[in-house]
Chains A and B, each alone.
Chain A
Amino acid sequence: MNAFDTLLANGLAVAEHRPWPRAIVDEDAWRSATAALREGVLSLLGLWGEHDAVHMAVYDTQTRGAAVLTLPCPNGAFPSVALSHPPAIRLERTIADLFGFVPLDAPDSRPWLDHGRWDVRHPLGATSPETTHAPYAFLANEGEALHQIPVGPVHAGIIEPGHFRFTANGETVVRLEERLGYVHKGIEGLMCGADIARGAKLAGRTSGDSTVAYTIAFARAVEAATQSEAPARAHYLRALMAEIERLANHLGDVGAICNDASFAIMHAHCSVLRERVLRAADLCFGHRLMRDCVVPGGVTVDLDATGANALRELIKDVRHQFPQLVSLYDQTASLQDRTVTTGTLKPELARQFGAGGYVGRASGRDFDARRAFAYPPYDVLTFDVPVLQEGDVNARVWIRIREIEQSLSLIEQILATLPSGSTQTDIPLRAGEGVALVEAFRGDVLVWLRLDESGRIARCHLRDASWFQWPLLEGVIEGNIVADFPLCNKSFNCSYSGHDL
């Protein structure tokens, strides 16, 4: 019996939770889980609150199993996970902000999403009116010749808002501290009491660039909770849209990273390819970003012969154009000079933080939710998960390049094997709990939810891959020059909205 089974065996199993087991545990088991996280036996998938408890989702890298542990919090406190496992710090600060629970002995007790502007404290827990809020205390930096550069929340480009506090010694960054939460819209608050249809729309508006992945994750969680199954054709169409989304975002990113090294020609050409992908999506599914196309029970769209042909043309086009751009990237020494050995993420940190997507895979973390959980149709499709060890900006570019090739192949396979039949099934209105992990373009998205007897959402938690990537960006920029920050930042391309919720 491994550590994972022991944890579950000592807890009280919750029967209505699917597909992973959920167990209500005591503080001792909670502490053992925390120790297993620290030792790297388990990897943290999520940590979130509810009105009377805290939940922790963990993944066992050896057995590829996952589970949810629940610790009741009758006294409004729980043993800090972050105390021995730093990736949990911001998640615990968020639980404290939203629910008012105190993580005991937590290393950082500052607020995170709560900027003191909501007029209410602990909006999802025992609420109380906003009282005077102390100014946010950034971490201290002491030393001669250090200066600070505050950036944001309104940035110079067309990007999302967030604040970066750089402390630099000349050109070299000594410390970067992020402050996020500016686009906190209260999505999890809006989810409470919403019906499934509204929940799906909210999930699809959590992070605009990953709308397909979020709606798939939400739909799969609902389907698990209600023990329903989407038709086979719907699974294939979901994967088709997910790969189109990945293709569009990766193409955009490769161009944008090069643009941040002032190499505009790559950006111009990649933008053209991205636009072609979005136009094909619009033609096939009636929306460029494929928003609201995936719903619990299936998909609202179908693919006709015209759409399938357009996608085949698109694949031909990208396969013709993209290799030229890859060789341009690979053969331009001045560009490589900016990306190679810049912003290096050590494999040890990527593993500790359970960094998903290209951030983890460029630093040796061989994890992809499509393979680890093999949700349909990825269980029958053939694809490689590229992994590199270098962990620099260049490696994150190459992971994207390889994944673009894989997505093209997956789209081809889906078009060749798309089953016929219906695209949607009815979701029964019933109580249940469901969880799903889905691979978005930037990493794994976790959705956990509980439905009440009327089939409405009692609680829904959405965890973007960015939660475990943003803190690492602070780490990789250290010792790099200030001018390389945009390059490092773009190579991570973390979501603000997906993180801020």
Chain B
Amino acid sequence: MRRLILQGLTRKPLTEARPAADDPELLALSARLDAAAKKRLGRSLSIREVDAGSCNGCELEIHALQNAFYDLERFGLRFVASPRHADVLFVTGPVTKNMREALERTYTATPSPKWVVAVGDCALDGGMFAGSYAVVGGVSAVVPVDLHIKGCPPKPIALLKGLLALMENPIAK
């Protein structure tokens, strides 16, 4: 263990630079959010992830946000264990009928002001699973959605840009 810790001290960090301020994807995502929301959300966000029917692909990439390359917490962004501690719900998957109530209850348990980010292609409109007897549809069919990040699944860098877009004045930083 000593060797690994020493290596960690002597080597350059793996963490990569934040996306450029003029990144078109970041600007596009940012433009979709109203200014008032960003002002209230401020610089630090607590995020609660809810899998409402995903294949688990999105979860894998959300997990990756926490590795040394993306290091989400340097931006003041962190995942929390309870919706009661959260500012933002990160919802993945087509919403299944069996998860509908759990998603509604998670949303209700999140204190206002709160924002919902729908993650992945299925979360937009049910994706490939739209039309199934067991699927309600996209996340917005159950709870109001503020931002959608597309991809199947979205790459961690796309997720990171989406989260930065939620924060106050992402361009100035």
Q: Is A302's CB within 8 Å of the partner chain B? A: no
A117: chain B residues within 8 A (beta carbon): 97-98, 100-101
B1: chain A residues within 8 A (beta carbon): 265, 328, 332
Q: Is B102's CB within 8 Å of the partner chain A? A: yes
Of A142-150, A223-231, A269-277, A361-369, the stretch lying at the interface with chain B is: A269-277
Of A43-51, A180-188, A472-480, the stretch lying at the interface with chain B is: A180-188
Closest Cβ of chain A to B160, distance in Å, is 13
Q: Is A201's CB within 8 Å of the partner chain B? A: yes
Rounded to whole angstroms, the CA-CA distance of A209 and B64 in the bound complex is 13
Q: Is A61's CB within 8 Å of the partner chain B? A: no
Is there contact, CB below 8 Å, between B96 and A184? yes
Closest Cβ of chain A to B52, distance in Å, is 8
Is there contact, CB below 8 Å, between B4 and A265? yes
Closest Cβ of chain B to A211, distance in Å, is 7
Q: Is A380's CB within 8 Å of the partner chain B? A: no
Q: Is A407's CB within 8 Å of the partner chain B? A: no
**Contacts A183-B93, A201-B128, A497-B54 hold; do A271 and B102 have CB atoms under 8 A apart?**
no
B131: chain A residues within 8 A (beta carbon): 190
Closest A-chain residue to B93, C-beta based? A183
B81: chain A residues within 8 A (beta carbon): 156-157
Is there contact, CB below 8 Å, between A289 and B60? yes
Q: Is A107's CB within 8 Å of the partner chain B? A: no
Closest Cβ of chain A to B85, distance in Å, is 11
Closest B-chain residue to A183, C-beta based? B53
Q: B125-142, CB under 8 A of A: which get 1 and which 0?
A: 000110111110000000
Rounded to whole angstroms, the CA-CA distance of A117 and B132 in the bound complex is 13
Interface residues on B, range: 35 or more
Interface residues on A, range: 35 or more
Closest A-chain residue to B127, C-beta based? A205
Q: Is A239's CB within 8 Å of the partner chain B? A: no
**Contacts A118-B97, A158-B49, A269-B4 hold; do A185 and B132 have CB atoms under 8 A apart?**
yes
Is there contact, CB below 8 Å, between B57 and A205? yes
Closest Cβ of chain B to A307, distance in Å, is 18
Is there contact, CB below 8 Å, between A185 and B60? no
Closest Cβ of chain B to A360, distance in Å, is 21
Q: Is A207's CB within 8 Å of the partner chain B? A: yes
Closest B-chain residue to A331, C-beta based? B1
**Contacts A183-B99, A189-B134, A272-B68 hold; do A324 and B3 have CB atoms under 8 A apart?**
yes
Q: Is B44's CB within 8 Å of the partner chain A? A: no
B133: chain A residues within 8 A (beta carbon): 118-120, 123, 186, 189
A271: chain B residues within 8 A (beta carbon): 64, 66-68
Q: B31-72, CB under 8 A of A: which get 1 and which 0?
A: 000000000000000000111111111111111101111000
**Contacts A185-B53, A271-B67, A288-B155 hold; do A158 and B96 have CB atoms under 8 A apart?**
no
Q: Is A161's CB within 8 Å of the partner chain B? A: yes
Find A156's partner among B61, B82, B99, B102 (CB 8 Å cutoff). Answer: B82
B50: chain A residues within 8 A (beta carbon): 154
Q: Is A278's CB within 8 Å of the partner chain B? A: yes
Rounded to whole angstroms, the CA-CA distance of A269 and B1 in the bound complex is 11
Find B61's partner among A120, A182, A268, A288 (CB 8 Å cutoff). Answer: A288
Find A153's partner among B54, B66, B102 (CB 8 Å cutoff). Answer: B102
B61: chain A residues within 8 A (beta carbon): 288
Q: Is A208's CB within 8 Å of the partner chain B? A: yes
Q: Is A159's CB within 8 Å of the partner chain B? A: yes
Q: Is A160's CB within 8 Å of the partner chain B? A: yes
Q: A299-325, CB under 8 A of B: which get 1 and which 0?
A: 000000000000000000000000011
A123: chain B residues within 8 A (beta carbon): 133-134
Q: B1-36, CB under 8 A of A: which get 1 and which 0?
A: 101110000000010000000000000000000000
Closest Cβ of chain A to B10, distance in Å, is 15
Closest Cβ of chain A to B53, distance in Å, is 5
Is there contact, CB below 8 Å, between B98 and A182? yes
Closest A-chain residue to B136, C-beta based? A117
Q: Is A291's CB within 8 Å of the partner chain B? A: yes
B4: chain A residues within 8 A (beta carbon): 265, 269, 324-325, 328
Rounded to whole angstroms, the CA-CA distance of A118 and B69 in the bound complex is 42
Is there contact, CB below 8 Å, between A272 and B69? yes
Rounded to whole angstroms, the CA-CA distance of A328 and B4 in the bound complex is 9
Q: B145-157, CB under 8 A of A: which get 1 and which 0?
A: 0000000110100
Q: Is B162's CB within 8 Å of the partner chain A? A: no
B99: chain A residues within 8 A (beta carbon): 153, 161, 182-183
Find B98's partner among A154, A181, A282, A324 (CB 8 Å cutoff). Answer: A181
A324: chain B residues within 8 A (beta carbon): 3-4
A201: chain B residues within 8 A (beta carbon): 128
Is there contact, CB below 8 Å, between B57 and A289? yes
A275: chain B residues within 8 A (beta carbon): 64, 67-69
Q: Is B115's CB within 8 Å of the partner chain A? A: no
Find B57's partner among A156, A211, A325 (CB 8 Å cutoff). Answer: A211
Is there contact, CB below 8 Å, between A208 and B60? yes
Is there contact, CB below 8 Å, between B56 and A158? no
Closest Cβ of chain A to B130, distance in Å, is 9
Q: A242-284, CB under 8 A of B: which get 1 and which 0?
A: 0000000000100000000000010011011011001000100
A161: chain B residues within 8 A (beta carbon): 51-52, 99, 102
Find A208's partner among B59, B82, B128, B135 (CB 8 Å cutoff). Answer: B59
Tell me which of B51, B58, B59, B81 has the highest count of chain A C-beta atoms within 10 A of its own C-beta: B51
Q: Is A346's CB within 8 Å of the partner chain B? A: no
B83: chain A residues within 8 A (beta carbon): 154
Pull 22 A–B residue pairs with CB atoms less than 8 Å apart, ordered by A: A115-B97, A123-B134, A158-B49, A159-B51, A160-B54, A161-B51, A182-B96, A182-B99, A183-B93, A183-B99, A185-B94, A187-B132, A190-B129, A205-B129, A208-B54, A209-B56, A211-B57, A265-B5, A271-B67, A275-B69, A324-B4, A496-B56
Query: Which B residues are closer than 8 A to A by beta carbons?
Result: 1, 3-5, 14, 49-64, 66-69, 79, 81-83, 93-94, 96-102, 106, 128-129, 131-135, 152-153, 155
> Can you name 10 extra interface pairs (CB under 8 A) apart from A186-B129, A208-B55?
A154-B50, A156-B82, A158-B63, A186-B133, A198-B128, A209-B56, A209-B60, A265-B5, A278-B64, A332-B1
